[in-house]
Structure 1
Amino acid sequence: MMMGKLLAADFLKIRKKMIWFLIFLAPVGVVSLQAVNYGLRYDYLMKTTEADRWGGLLGGIHFLLTPALLLGIAIIASMVANIEHQMNAWKQLLALPIPRTSVYAAKFALVALLLSVSCILLGIGTVLLGTMLDLGDKVPLAEVVKLAFYPFAASLPVLALQLWMSLTIHNQAIPLTVGIAGSIVSMFVTLPAWVVWSWPTLINEAGKPEYSVGAGLVVGIGLLLLGMIDFMRRDVN
């Protein structure tokens, strides 16, 4: 009940913010870039992906999705936290008879729900693009769902870290710089397996995307709990 009220209040706070525009812009941008790619190289791409045309489309979108997702996490987490920072509302909010853990969990849930909307829109856009490109009558819905949600699940540790930084650091340039650097590096550099910014790529030694997803869920929950503990003990201004 308490979480529901906090979430409802947080949704009201972002009602007139640019956050919703970004939530829609990200999946539309990724799908549009892939549409342009096919528009410019249609014959070549159709020939090279003849054996699995849907797989070729999904692979191209996944390549663009990873940095966009990491960048989106950093920006959305920062924007959600900055609402309280800009209004200097932390002291008033934390003075209410509400557990700090609930406040923190509500912010995490808000960002996760917003990003889930983007994932759903990405899946819908992917199916529409594939249908328009006439890639085949049998749409691989299971693979589309994996494309939309596997990278997000694997990125939960990044979400937990970005939210913790955004909530506890007043200067949002710091968490944004970390998030932007992580998204850029993940695109051009092969990172060590322990670096969480590499997990949304779903590349691991076992060659099983589910391992990255499982690690993301477990480590993400662990980092969320650690962030809650730190938030409980910290003076947030």
Structure 2
Amino acid sequence: MMWRALSADWLKIRGKGIWFLVFLGPVGLIAMQGLNFGLRYDYLRGQYQADLWDGLLSNIASFVPIALYLGGTLVSSLIANVEHQTSAWKQLLALPVPRTAVFMAKLLLCLLLLAVSCLLLSAGTIVLGLLLGFGVQPIPYTDVLRIGFAAYAAAMPVIALQLWLSLSSRNQTLPVSVGLTLSLLSPFGLFFSEWVPLSWPDLAWSASRPWLFSGAGLLLGLLVLFPGALHFARKDVD
């Protein structure tokens, strides 16, 4: 059931601008760091000459949390608005498909789209490093993949919360406002306690045991997911 709902949702997002957002995040980050290193090439190359790739990854990593939170907010809102704007919820939920399957299909679609963004970020990082001449040192493929996907796992609670809010409210002011607020606070994540989930995407890159924060994000994301699916299954929709 969920896979049929996912296939239908995949077709619905055509022409909705969602794919533009999926590409905009990673391309924007890579372009920004390309400009940063291009304008200060000699200085930054000298500063990071011991490990050029680590210098590039560290500069990109500081902007990944805000991109994830903002991207998750906008993608969730646009996916929900496909049904809200056409008032199609009653017709959709009248079909012989469990409400939980509808919720899970939209969650999976959101996660797949954000995973594509993370993959594009990793690929773009390698391309940028090669263009900057960093190919003289071995490419740290594990760290290149970790820069996006570790933070992605750590940000899962916020992504699940954003989809829950977006699907539950016809007026997207609240979910978008919450997402924007969290995005603006995310650059200060390292100043928060490690018990604050908002800091986990940063710690998933910079902590001595980063896997703990990625794992905590996945676990808390599941804990947020269950009440969200239950609330959606019981809620009356317009």
Q: 1:204 to 1:44 in 2, by over 3 A?
A: closer
Pairing of 1:144-183 with structure 2 (within 5 A): 144-183=144-183
Contact kept? 1:193, 1:204, Cα under 8 Å: no
Contact kept? 2:25, 2:117, Cα under 8 Å: yes
Residues 167-195 of structure 1, C-alpha deviations (whole Å, 9 max, x = no match): 00111011001001101011146233333
Contact kept? 1:81, 1:166, Cα under 8 Å: yes
RMSD of aligned C-alpha atoms? 1.5
> CA–CA distance in 1 between the matches of 2:34 and 2:202?
21
Contact kept? 1:154, 1:214, Cα under 8 Å: yes
| Number of corresponding residues | 236
Residues 96-148 of structure 1, C-alpha deviations (whole Å, 9 max, x = no match): 11111100000000000000110111011000001111113411101101112
The farther-off stretch of 186-195 and 108-117 is 186-195
> CA–CA distance in 2 between the matches of 1:227 and 1:201?
25
> CA–CA distance in 1 between the matches of 2:11 and 2:86?
15
Contact kept? 1:6, 1:103, Cα under 8 Å: yes
Contact kept? 2:151, 2:205, Cα under 8 Å: no
Q: 1:33 to 1:152 in 2, by over 3 A?
A: same
Match of 2:141 in 1: 141
> CA–CA distance in 2 between the matches of 1:188 and 1:206?
15
Match of 1:44 in 2: 43
Match of 1:186 in 2: 186
TM-score normalised by the chain length of structure 2: 0.95
Contact kept? 1:154, 1:200, Cα under 8 Å: yes
- Structure 2, unaligned runs of 5 or more: none
Match of 2:108 in 1: 109
The farther-off stretch of 223-232 and 106-115 is 223-232
Q: 1:97 to 1:77 in 2, by over 3 A?
A: same
Pairing of 1:56-95 with structure 2 (within 5 A): 56-95=55-94
Match of 1:6 in 2: 5
TM-score normalised by the chain length of structure 1: 0.95
> CA–CA distance in 2 between the matches of 1:106 and 1:218?
19
> CA–CA distance in 2 between the matches of 1:105 and 1:128?
34
Shift of residue 204, structure 1, vs aligned partner: 9.5
Amino acid aligned to 1:232: A
> CA–CA distance in 2 between the matches of 1:212 and 1:114?
22
Shift of residue 203, structure 1, vs aligned partner: 5.7
Contact kept? 1:204, 1:212, Cα under 8 Å: no
Of all paired residues, the percent bearing the same amino acid is 49
> CA–CA distance in 2 between the matches of 1:223 and 1:188?
23
Shift of residue 50, structure 1, vs aligned partner: 1.3
Residues 49-88 of structure 1, C-alpha deviations (whole Å, 9 max, x = no match): 1111100000001111111111000010001001111111
Contact kept? 1:202, 1:209, Cα under 8 Å: yes
